[in-house]
Amino acid sequence: MPNPLTDYLTALDATPVADLQNRDVVAEFGRIAEVLEAAGDEQLARQARIEQEVMGASKSLEDKIGYHISGVRQDEEGNEQPFGWPETSAYGPAEYAYLKQRYQATSNLFLKREYGLFLYLRKQAGRPEEVAALVNDLFALSQAYFTLEATEPPTRHYVLFAVQNLALAFRIAASRQRDPAVAATLRPIMDFMLATQQRWDAARTGSPMLLGTFTSLVAEQLNLFREAGLLPAFLAHNRPLIETLRNTYLHGAMEVAQATAEVAQQAKLDARPWQLLVADYYEQLAAEALARDNSAAVSFTQQAMRLYQELGETATAERLAQQYQQLRTTFRLGEVFTEVPAAQVQERTAEIQRLVEQHTEAELVAFLAATPMFPTIKAVREYEQTAAKSLADMFSTVVQDKHGNPVQTFTTEPQKQEFRVLNAYGLLGQLAMQTLVQLVVTAYKADKLHASGVMGYLADSWLGQPREVREHGMERTTFPLRLLESGIQAIFQELDRWRKEETDDPDFIAATDSLVLKVEYVLRYMCERLGITTFRPKREGIVHEKLLEELFQDLAPHLDPEDLFFIRFYLQEKAGQNLRNRIAHGLMDENEYGIEKALLVLVMLLKLASYAFKPRETETP
């Protein structure tokens, strides 16, 4: 009898790390588990579920093993109950024995990382030789990603994975440096960090994250680098790297310079040159912000002035004090915005052009449904773990609407961490949204994206099938696709007006309003197809339709967690875009609409349409 689990594990062992995406692996293990469960093979099905859960679980040194997706759901009495997936807290000897066997059996570094970290964080692999083996695996995986980073396009984000795994390896090894077997792994990692820093071109993508992480690791284990004689070379080479980074990303250069100044102070070295550099960068940031009429110039000027005062640069501080006085009466308080470096914009444009030229319209629509330009939850959570924490993280976070009304509070540490994840997803999503818009506009201008192509994709899906509805004892046939068609046509009609130069400001208000509400319709219809009730009884015999959050909770086992997170973030999450609530309650003004929101909702519909339903079982006469 064929064994799909063994076949897939064998295939994974032979798959290069460059071709492995966590979300694809998690989804495939889930599919295999369903096949094995349907075949009645309980043992193999359980093993497939273990694989799926371990690959899907978030893993960090601070929070150990966490959920891939979590939230709060209401029970029948209206009480809120937390939920999360995957739930691995009940794992026992059988599950851990299986994972240890898999860790030893596989040669794939990607898989070894997932098994090894899970066991280590659950305190199931704590012997010195086990920890040393995990550190070496993480280090080897990091080196593999660095090799890929040097040869593959920057859009593959290998530098992010490389740095994350190197930081994990170093921090685990440093935490167990009293064990000789583990301590022996530290020097090769430190030498590799210095060699990577020495050869690194700070104009490359990912430089702020790499330089910032390396500097943080040196600060965490300053004595190790000092005793190894590596500290002077590290500090000396950080200066030209920061100055190169300044040409493409001034704000990032300032943050790395600030971290390096702290290292110098910690090491009781002369930190003044670094502090002067930071002050100078703050002054340059103020000048850039002022040139763009951005009120962040006020804050940057104040920071530069304070640093110059502390350094005894009286004349410069007085000059900036006069500038600060003028600025703070000119601007209202504002926010900081950073621009994408020009080199990255050019790389993205070239990649999009190649994508449009090499693919058909049907393939491009399917590509939009997959949204590979948006970050994965796992990558965002790992990025959040490596990001520097600020003083503000010590306090509760309150999400306010545009009128200043508090709508959500994050108080506990898990809640604050979840907010940081949502915030990181939103920030990274801004760049992804730019890519999404650029891809759609490029494909449209190349005559490779039309309303008919999108409608054809939907027509071939389950949404293109007639829907039988029974109301008040009568049956009738409806066509869900007709509900979506006018909103989709409106998007492309506005693009047509723009291309014909009939307008410089396309109006996507009607399209967005229409399609946002249709997403909830599709979610309810999806529940119906899955046999999930969309109502709940209340007190005194009253029945209410379920809230949108309840629909998400019910659909969580059936949707790809990445799709669920994406739709939830932009449609319903208060710390996200919350489009459904803002539109349904009339909380959006005309200037808050745009092509971005229309395309986000269109992508949600394409994602939901991409699912397939098994035919329901019927009794055989």
Q: pLDDT confidence of 143, banded at 50, 70, 90?
A: very high
- Give residue 277's pLDDT: 96
**Where is 264: in which H helix or E strand?**
helix 250-266
Give me the residue label for tokens 């959006």.
588
d(CA 536, CA 555): 15
- Give residue 541's pLDDT: 62
Q: What is the mean pLDDT of residues 213-241?
A: 96
Chain segment 43-75, per-residue pLDDT in tens: 999 999 999 999 999 999 988 998 887 766 666
> With contact defined as beta carbons under 8 Å apart, do 443 and 364 qualify?
yes
The 10 Å CB-count burial string (b at 16+, else e) for 211-220 is bbbbbbbbbe
Residues 6+ apart with CB under 8 A from 283: 300, 301, 304, 320
> With contact defined as beta carbons under 8 Å apart, do 409 and 574 qualify?
no
**Where is 161: in which H helix or E strand?**
helix 158-175
Q: What is the mean pLDDT of residues 376-385?
A: 77
Distance separating the N- and C-terminal Cα atoms of the chain? 30
Q: How many residues in the chain?
A: 621
d(CA 559, CA 551): 12
- Give residue 409's pLDDT: 62
Mean pLDDT, rounded, of the chain: 86
C-alpha dihedral sign at 513, 517, 519, 522: negative
**Percentage of the chain surpassing pLDDT 70?**
87
d(CA 242, CA 264): 15
- Would you give the DSSP letter of residue 419? H
Burial (Cβ within 10 Å: 0-12, 13-18, ≥19) of residue 161: buried
- pLDDT at position 90 over 80: yes
d(CA 287, CA 297): 7
Burial (Cβ within 10 Å: 0-12, 13-18, ≥19) of residue 288: middle
Most confident of 48-62, 73-87, 468-482: 48-62
C-alpha torsion angle, residues 242, 243, 248, 251 (rounded to 10): 60
d(CA 102, CA 55): 12
Which range is least confidently modeled, 161-165, 187-191, 288-292?
A: 288-292
d(CA 359, CA 88): 41
- pLDDT at position 617 over 50: no
C-alpha dihedral sign at 348, 354, 357, 359: negative
Q: pLDDT confidence of 384, banded at 50, 70, 90?
A: low
> With contact defined as beta carbons under 8 Å apart, do 164 and 146 qualify?
no
CA angle 50, 55, 60 (to 5 degrees): 120
Chain segment 168-184, per-residue pLDDT in tens: 999 999 999 999 999 99
> With contact defined as beta carbons under 8 Å apart, do 140 and 165 qualify?
no
pTM above 0.85, yes or no: no
DSSP E strands in 31-118: the ranges are 58-60, 64-66, 69-74, 80-85
Chain segment 329-353, per-residue pLDDT in tens: 665 443 444 455 666 677 788 889 9
